[in-house]
Amino acid sequence: MASSLDGKVVLISGTGSGIGRAGALRFAEAGAAVVGCDLDAEHNAETHRMISAAGGTMVDVSPVDLGELAGCQAWVDRAIDEFGRVDVLWNNASACAFKTIDTMTVEEWDFSIRNELSLVFLGTKAAWPHLNESHGLVINTASVAGHGGGVGGIAHSATKWAVRGMTHVMAAEGAPGGIRAVSISPGVIETAGSAEQLGMPGATEALLRQSLVPRLGQTDDIAKAAVFLASDDAAFVTGIDFRVDGGLVNHG
């Protein structure tokens, strides 16, 4: 991949696993300094080692809980202390309860809103002044669940539809400061986060039948899309949702 992000400082959340880890590896490969964070310090340290071994730059801020403004602020402050700027904020981390309306508890609902929606607002709030200075970019990880909704997705669809709406607001409010904002909607991607869903009998086969590209998504599919959106080649792109779903939404 072309080294197009030299000198950029990129904050990515959830770098201990799945899409966040793949994103950290790709952004580092493209020349960016990655400021990664996660609740899970052990797995994030592993990502740190992978990037160092590949000759890239990553600062590891973990464990950090992005459900609190203080956690988000610590993450952003670390980027400023180390590099003096923030060019890209990728709000990617999330955790959610997948339950039906009758089985989801109020506590599980609140947990999902906190860890899938509030952290997008809080991370953006903490980074906003620095993004205004750099005329930077916000990437939010949404989902195909933010284009529809199915059984067990009451909280997940609520948050991911909201993330897409928030992205429009960020693009509008950011425009005067030269900030772009986009969301990415992954289809079903093979990660620890989707293992339970994909492990249900017949789930993978049903998905493949609905998909125009007959395979499951990989974390690198999303990482490469994010690197493109952060590059100068995407300078005219803002306020959109970029679906990387193998045609699932068109066809499902």
Ligand X SMILES: NC(=O)c1ccc[n+]([C@@H]2O[C@H](COP(=O)([O-])OP(=O)(O)OC[C@H]3O[C@@H](n4cnc5c(N)ncnc54)[C@H](O)[C@@H]3O)[C@@H](O)[C@H]2O)c1
Stretch of residues binding ligand X (CB under 6 A), selected from 15-23, 81-89, 167-175, 233-241: 15-23
Q: Contact with ligand X (CB under 6 A): which of 34, 61, 66, 182?
A: 66
Complete DSSP assignment for 61-125: E-S--TTSHHHHHHHHHHHHHHHS---EEEE---------TTT--HHHHHHHHIIIIIHHHHHHH
* By CB under 6 A, residue 46 contacts ligand X: no
Nearest to 168 by CA among 145, 140, 148, 129: 140
Distance in Å, CB of 175 to ligand X, minimum = 25
CA distance 105 to 194: 21
Site string for ligand X, 26-45 (x = CB under 6 A): ------------xxx--x--
Stretch of residues binding ligand X (CB under 6 A), selected from 64-72, 124-132, 203-211, 236-244: 64-72
Strand, coil or helix: 154: helix
* By CB under 6 A, residue 112 contacts ligand X: no
CA distance 53 to 76: 25
Q: Contact with ligand X (CB under 6 A): which of 9, 10, 11, 16?
A: 16
* By CB under 6 A, residue 155 contacts ligand X: no
Please say which residue, 91 or 238, places its beta carbon nearer to ligand X.
91
The token duo for 243 is 């679906």
Q: Name the residue with the smallest CB distance to ligand X.
A: 18
Neighbours of 6 (CB within 10 A): 9
* By CB under 6 A, residue 115 contacts ligand X: yes
| CA atoms within 13 Å, Cβ hemisphere of 113 | 9
Please say which residue, 34 or 93, places its beta carbon nearer to ligand X.
93
* By CB under 6 A, residue 92 contacts ligand X: yes
In this structure, are residues 60 and 36 in contact, taking their beta carbons and an 8 Å threshold?
A: yes
CA distance 174 to 135: 9
Distance in Å, CB of 147 to ligand X, minimum = 10
Phi, psi angle pair for 8, to nearest 5°: -80, 145
Q: Contact with ligand X (CB under 6 A): which of 47, 124, 143, 211?
A: 143
Please say which residue, 19 or 126, places its beta carbon nearer to ligand X.
19
Q: Contact with ligand X (CB under 6 A): which of 112, 157, 167, 191?
A: 191
Residues that bind ligand X (CB under 6 A): 13-14, 16-20, 38-40, 43, 64-67, 92-95, 115, 119, 141, 143, 186, 188-189, 191-194
